[in-house]
Chain A
Amino acid sequence: MAYSEKVIDHYENPRNVGSLDKNDPQVATGMVGAPACGDVMKLQLKISDDGIIEDAKFKTYGCGSAIASSSLVTEWVKGKSIDEAAEIKNTAIAEELALPPVKIHCSILAEDAIKAAIEDYRTKNND
Protein backbone atom coordinates (compact mmCIF):
# COMPACT_ATOMS: atom_id res chain seq x y z
CA MET A 1 0.00 0.00 0.00
CA ALA A 2 1.32 3.42 -0.90
CA TYR A 3 1.69 5.99 1.83
CA SER A 4 0.97 9.63 1.08
CA GLU A 5 3.89 12.07 0.96
CA LYS A 6 2.78 13.65 4.23
CA VAL A 7 2.76 10.29 5.99
CA ILE A 8 6.23 9.52 4.68
CA ASP A 9 7.48 12.94 5.76
CA HIS A 10 6.20 12.47 9.33
CA TYR A 11 7.42 8.88 9.38
CA GLU A 12 10.92 9.78 8.26
CA ASN A 13 11.15 13.00 10.26
CA PRO A 14 8.81 12.52 13.19
CA ARG A 15 8.22 15.74 15.17
CA ASN A 16 8.41 15.80 18.93
CA VAL A 17 9.41 12.23 19.62
CA GLY A 18 10.27 11.57 23.24
CA SER A 19 9.01 11.87 26.75
CA LEU A 20 8.20 14.57 29.28
CA ASP A 21 8.67 14.13 33.01
CA LYS A 22 5.54 12.25 34.03
CA ASN A 23 5.95 13.39 37.65
CA ASP A 24 5.70 17.05 36.66
CA PRO A 25 2.19 18.13 37.77
CA GLN A 26 1.88 20.13 34.53
CA VAL A 27 2.50 17.05 32.40
CA ALA A 28 -0.45 14.91 31.33
CA THR A 29 -0.04 11.49 29.75
CA GLY A 30 -2.42 9.75 27.37
CA MET A 31 -1.91 6.08 26.62
CA VAL A 32 -3.97 4.25 24.03
CA GLY A 33 -3.68 1.03 22.10
CA ALA A 34 -5.34 -0.62 19.12
CA PRO A 35 -5.96 -4.34 19.65
CA ALA A 36 -6.61 -4.91 15.94
CA CYS A 37 -3.03 -4.07 14.98
CA GLY A 38 -1.25 -4.06 18.35
CA ASP A 39 -0.24 -0.40 18.04
CA VAL A 40 0.62 1.44 21.24
CA MET A 41 0.66 5.24 21.48
CA LYS A 42 1.80 7.55 24.27
CA LEU A 43 1.08 11.27 24.04
CA GLN A 44 2.31 13.70 26.68
CA LEU A 45 1.25 17.32 27.00
CA LYS A 46 2.79 20.04 29.13
CA ILE A 47 -0.05 22.32 30.12
CA SER A 48 0.35 25.80 31.60
CA ASP A 49 -1.69 27.03 34.57
CA ASP A 50 -4.06 28.86 32.21
CA GLY A 51 -4.73 25.66 30.28
CA ILE A 52 -2.51 26.22 27.24
CA ILE A 53 -0.54 23.31 25.79
CA GLU A 54 3.09 24.47 25.83
CA ASP A 55 4.78 21.30 24.72
CA ALA A 56 3.87 17.88 23.35
CA LYS A 57 5.84 14.68 22.92
CA PHE A 58 4.90 11.27 21.63
CA LYS A 59 6.13 7.74 21.42
CA THR A 60 4.33 5.32 19.14
CA TYR A 61 4.97 1.72 18.28
CA GLY A 62 3.00 0.95 15.18
CA CYS A 63 2.74 1.42 11.45
CA GLY A 64 3.73 4.49 9.46
CA SER A 65 0.22 5.93 9.62
CA ALA A 66 0.07 5.61 13.41
CA ILE A 67 3.43 7.33 13.78
CA ALA A 68 2.46 10.07 11.32
CA SER A 69 -0.90 10.62 13.06
CA SER A 70 0.72 11.07 16.46
CA SER A 71 3.52 13.23 15.07
CA LEU A 72 0.99 15.51 13.36
CA VAL A 73 -1.10 15.76 16.50
CA THR A 74 1.86 16.99 18.57
CA GLU A 75 2.31 19.81 16.04
CA TRP A 76 -1.36 20.70 16.05
CA VAL A 77 -1.93 20.80 19.80
CA LYS A 78 1.00 23.06 20.67
CA GLY A 79 -0.24 26.54 21.53
CA LYS A 80 -3.85 25.40 21.75
CA SER A 81 -5.98 25.47 24.89
CA ILE A 82 -7.02 22.06 26.18
CA ASP A 83 -10.59 22.77 25.11
CA GLU A 84 -9.44 23.52 21.57
CA ALA A 85 -7.25 20.41 21.52
CA ALA A 86 -10.19 18.30 22.67
CA GLU A 87 -12.00 19.44 19.53
CA ILE A 88 -9.48 17.84 17.17
CA LYS A 89 -11.27 15.16 15.19
CA ASN A 90 -9.80 12.05 13.67
CA THR A 91 -11.38 12.99 10.34
CA ALA A 92 -9.19 16.11 10.19
CA ILE A 93 -6.08 14.02 10.89
CA ALA A 94 -7.05 11.43 8.28
CA GLU A 95 -7.75 14.16 5.74
CA GLU A 96 -4.48 16.02 6.35
CA LEU A 97 -2.47 12.80 5.96
CA ALA A 98 -4.64 11.40 3.16
CA LEU A 99 -5.04 8.14 5.06
CA PRO A 100 -6.70 5.28 3.17
CA PRO A 101 -9.84 3.72 4.76
CA VAL A 102 -7.90 0.78 6.26
CA LYS A 103 -5.73 3.25 8.18
CA ILE A 104 -8.50 5.43 9.60
CA HIS A 105 -8.13 3.66 12.95
CA CYS A 106 -4.64 5.22 13.27
CA SER A 107 -6.21 8.68 13.25
CA ILE A 108 -8.85 7.51 15.76
CA LEU A 109 -6.03 6.33 17.99
CA ALA A 110 -4.38 9.77 17.82
CA GLU A 111 -7.65 11.53 18.65
CA ASP A 112 -8.20 9.16 21.57
CA ALA A 113 -4.65 9.82 22.78
CA ILE A 114 -5.39 13.57 23.03
CA LYS A 115 -8.62 12.81 24.90
CA ALA A 116 -6.83 10.41 27.27
CA ALA A 117 -4.11 13.00 28.00
CA ILE A 118 -6.68 15.71 28.73
CA GLU A 119 -8.59 13.29 30.94
CA ASP A 120 -5.35 12.56 32.81
CA TYR A 121 -4.74 16.30 33.23
CA ARG A 122 -8.24 16.86 34.60
CA THR A 123 -7.91 13.95 37.02
CA LYS A 124 -4.52 15.21 38.21
CA ASN A 125 -5.77 18.75 38.72
CA ASN A 126 -9.20 18.04 40.05
CA ASP A 127 -8.23 17.78 43.71
Chain B
Amino acid sequence: MNYFQLFGLANQFDIDLANLSTIYQTLQKQAHPDRFAHASSQEQLIAVQKSTEINDAYQTLKSPLLRAQYMLTLRGVDMPSEQASFGDVSFLMRQMELRELLAEIKFANDTDAAIFEASVVFETEFEQLFNQLQVQLTDNTTESNAQACDNVRKLKFYQKLQVELDKLEDALLDD
Protein backbone atom coordinates (compact mmCIF):
# COMPACT_ATOMS: atom_id res chain seq x y z
CA MET B 1 0.00 0.00 0.00
CA ASN B 2 1.50 3.35 -0.97
CA TYR B 3 1.10 6.56 1.04
CA PHE B 4 -1.71 7.87 -1.15
CA GLN B 5 -3.65 4.61 -0.75
CA LEU B 6 -2.99 4.62 2.99
CA PHE B 7 -4.64 8.05 3.19
CA GLY B 8 -7.39 7.16 0.70
CA LEU B 9 -6.25 9.90 -1.66
CA ALA B 10 -5.90 10.01 -5.43
CA ASN B 11 -2.31 9.69 -6.60
CA GLN B 12 -1.90 13.29 -7.73
CA PHE B 13 0.29 16.22 -6.86
CA ASP B 14 -2.42 18.66 -5.79
CA ILE B 15 -3.50 17.92 -2.26
CA ASP B 16 -5.88 19.66 0.12
CA LEU B 17 -3.64 20.07 3.16
CA ALA B 18 -6.50 20.62 5.60
CA ASN B 19 -8.10 17.39 4.43
CA LEU B 20 -4.73 15.60 4.67
CA SER B 21 -4.36 16.72 8.27
CA THR B 22 -7.88 15.53 9.17
CA ILE B 23 -7.26 12.09 7.65
CA TYR B 24 -3.92 11.91 9.47
CA GLN B 25 -5.55 12.56 12.84
CA THR B 26 -8.26 9.98 12.22
CA LEU B 27 -5.75 7.33 11.14
CA GLN B 28 -3.43 8.09 14.04
CA LYS B 29 -6.30 7.73 16.53
CA GLN B 30 -7.22 4.32 15.08
CA ALA B 31 -3.65 3.07 15.24
CA HIS B 32 -2.64 4.72 18.51
CA PRO B 33 -0.59 2.21 20.55
CA ASP B 34 -2.54 3.15 23.72
CA ARG B 35 -5.59 1.52 22.22
CA PHE B 36 -3.67 -1.73 22.13
CA ALA B 37 -2.45 -1.57 25.74
CA HIS B 38 -4.28 -4.79 26.60
CA ALA B 39 -3.67 -6.54 23.29
CA SER B 40 -1.02 -9.17 22.63
CA SER B 41 2.56 -7.99 22.22
CA GLN B 42 2.40 -8.85 18.54
CA GLU B 43 -0.66 -6.65 18.05
CA GLN B 44 1.08 -3.89 19.97
CA LEU B 45 4.09 -4.16 17.69
CA ILE B 46 1.89 -3.96 14.60
CA ALA B 47 0.16 -0.88 16.02
CA VAL B 48 3.51 0.85 16.58
CA GLN B 49 4.64 0.01 13.04
CA LYS B 50 1.34 1.25 11.61
CA SER B 51 1.60 4.46 13.58
CA THR B 52 5.14 5.05 12.30
CA GLU B 53 4.04 4.39 8.73
CA ILE B 54 1.14 6.84 9.02
CA ASN B 55 3.53 9.43 10.39
CA ASP B 56 6.07 8.90 7.58
CA ALA B 57 3.29 9.09 5.00
CA TYR B 58 1.98 12.33 6.49
CA GLN B 59 5.40 14.01 6.57
CA THR B 60 6.02 12.97 2.96
CA LEU B 61 2.64 14.02 1.58
CA LYS B 62 2.57 17.29 3.52
CA SER B 63 5.80 18.65 1.99
CA PRO B 64 5.37 19.49 -1.72
CA LEU B 65 8.98 18.61 -2.58
CA LEU B 66 8.95 15.32 -0.67
CA ARG B 67 5.57 14.53 -2.22
CA ALA B 68 6.91 15.22 -5.72
CA GLN B 69 9.96 13.08 -5.05
CA TYR B 70 7.77 10.28 -3.69
CA MET B 71 5.49 10.37 -6.74
CA LEU B 72 8.52 10.13 -9.02
CA THR B 73 9.81 7.14 -7.05
CA LEU B 74 6.41 5.45 -7.37
CA ARG B 75 6.61 6.03 -11.12
CA GLY B 76 9.95 4.24 -11.18
CA VAL B 77 11.94 7.36 -12.02
CA ASP B 78 15.55 6.95 -11.03
CA MET B 79 16.21 9.95 -8.78
CA PRO B 80 19.92 10.79 -8.58
CA SER B 81 21.35 10.19 -5.11
CA GLU B 82 21.09 13.03 -2.61
CA GLN B 83 24.88 13.14 -2.66
CA ALA B 84 25.21 13.44 -6.43
CA SER B 85 26.46 16.79 -7.69
CA PHE B 86 24.33 18.99 -9.86
CA GLY B 87 25.96 20.42 -12.98
CA ASP B 88 23.49 22.76 -14.70
CA VAL B 89 25.90 25.66 -15.26
CA SER B 90 23.46 28.50 -15.98
CA PHE B 91 21.29 27.49 -13.04
CA LEU B 92 24.33 27.39 -10.75
CA MET B 93 25.54 30.77 -12.04
CA ARG B 94 22.17 32.18 -11.01
CA GLN B 95 22.51 30.52 -7.61
CA MET B 96 25.90 32.21 -7.17
CA GLU B 97 24.31 35.58 -7.97
CA LEU B 98 21.53 34.95 -5.47
CA ARG B 99 24.06 33.93 -2.82
CA GLU B 100 25.92 37.17 -3.52
CA LEU B 101 22.67 39.11 -3.20
CA LEU B 102 22.18 37.43 0.17
CA ALA B 103 25.73 38.26 1.27
CA GLU B 104 25.23 41.95 0.37
CA ILE B 105 22.14 42.38 2.56
CA LYS B 106 23.98 43.09 5.77
CA PHE B 107 25.79 46.03 4.12
CA ALA B 108 22.56 47.64 2.91
CA ASN B 109 21.44 50.97 4.38
CA ASP B 110 17.97 49.59 4.90
CA THR B 111 18.41 45.91 5.73
CA ASP B 112 14.67 45.30 6.16
CA ALA B 113 14.02 46.50 2.62
CA ALA B 114 16.94 44.45 1.29
CA ILE B 115 15.62 41.31 3.02
CA PHE B 116 12.17 41.95 1.58
CA GLU B 117 13.56 42.45 -1.93
CA ALA B 118 15.60 39.25 -1.70
CA SER B 119 12.61 37.26 -0.46
CA VAL B 120 10.53 38.51 -3.41
CA VAL B 121 13.24 37.41 -5.86
CA PHE B 122 13.59 33.99 -4.21
CA GLU B 123 9.85 33.43 -4.07
CA THR B 124 9.27 34.50 -7.67
CA GLU B 125 11.92 32.12 -8.99
CA PHE B 126 10.74 29.32 -6.68
CA GLU B 127 7.15 29.75 -7.86
CA GLN B 128 8.22 29.63 -11.50
CA LEU B 129 10.01 26.30 -11.05
CA PHE B 130 7.24 25.00 -8.82
CA ASN B 131 4.55 25.75 -11.41
CA GLN B 132 6.61 23.95 -14.03
CA LEU B 133 6.92 20.99 -11.64
CA GLN B 134 3.14 20.82 -11.22
CA VAL B 135 2.65 20.64 -14.99
CA GLN B 136 5.47 18.11 -15.44
CA LEU B 137 4.05 15.79 -12.79
CA THR B 138 0.57 16.00 -14.29
CA ASP B 139 1.89 15.28 -17.79
CA ASN B 140 3.54 12.11 -16.47
CA THR B 141 5.59 11.19 -19.53
CA THR B 142 9.14 9.84 -19.45
CA GLU B 143 10.41 13.22 -20.53
CA SER B 144 8.29 15.30 -18.17
CA ASN B 145 9.17 13.04 -15.23
CA ALA B 146 12.88 13.51 -15.96
CA GLN B 147 12.33 17.27 -16.05
CA ALA B 148 10.33 17.09 -12.81
CA CYS B 149 13.23 15.27 -11.23
CA ASP B 150 15.54 18.08 -12.30
CA ASN B 151 13.16 20.71 -10.96
CA VAL B 152 12.86 19.02 -7.57
CA ARG B 153 16.64 19.23 -7.29
CA LYS B 154 16.63 22.89 -8.34
CA LEU B 155 13.91 23.77 -5.87
CA LYS B 156 16.05 22.40 -3.05
CA PHE B 157 18.57 25.16 -3.73
CA TYR B 158 15.79 27.72 -3.28
CA GLN B 159 14.74 26.07 -0.04
CA LYS B 160 18.29 26.49 1.16
CA LEU B 161 18.32 30.16 0.12
CA GLN B 162 15.17 30.73 2.13
CA VAL B 163 16.72 29.04 5.18
CA GLU B 164 19.79 31.26 4.84
CA LEU B 165 17.63 34.36 4.49
CA ASP B 166 15.66 33.45 7.63
CA LYS B 167 18.92 32.90 9.52
CA LEU B 168 20.22 36.27 8.38
CA GLU B 169 17.01 37.97 9.42
CA ASP B 170 17.26 36.44 12.90
CA ALA B 171 20.90 37.44 13.20
CA LEU B 172 20.17 41.05 12.19
CA LEU B 173 17.31 41.22 14.69
CA ASP B 174 19.66 40.19 17.48
CA ASP B 175 22.08 43.04 16.81
Contacts and interface: CB of A to CB of B under 8 A. Distances in A.
Nearest to A61: B99
B93 interface: yes
Contacts of A105: 82-83
Contact of B160 (A31, A37, A59, A108): A37
Interface in A78-127: 104-105, 108-109, 112, 116
Contacts of B87: 31-33, 112, 116
B85 interface: yes
B116 interface: no
Nearest to B103: A61
A102 to B, nearest CB: 10
A35 B99 contact: no
A36 B161 contact: no
Contacts of A31: 87, 89, 92-93, 96
Given A33-B86, A61-B95, 9 more contacts: A31-B89, A32-B87, A33-B95, A33-B157, A35-B82, A35-B156, A38-B156, A105-B82, A109-B85
A61 B156 contact: no
A74 to B, nearest CB: 17
11 contacts: A33-B91, A34-B85, A35-B154, A35-B156, A38-B159, A38-B163, A40-B96, A40-B157, A61-B95, A105-B82, A116-B87
Contacts of A36: 82-83, 156
B96 A108 contact: no
B86 A35 contact: yes
Interface string B157-169: 1011101100000
Contact of B96 (A37, A42, A112): A42
B149 to A, nearest CB: 11
B62 interface: no
B32 interface: no
B106 interface: no
A33 B89 CA distance: 9
A4 to B, nearest CB: 20
Contacts of B50: none
Interface string B132-166: 00000000000000000000011011011101100
Given A59-B96, A61-B99, A38 B161 contact: yes
Interface in A60-90: 61
Contacts of B88: 33
A34 B96 contact: no
Contacts of B99: 40, 61
B86 A32 contact: yes
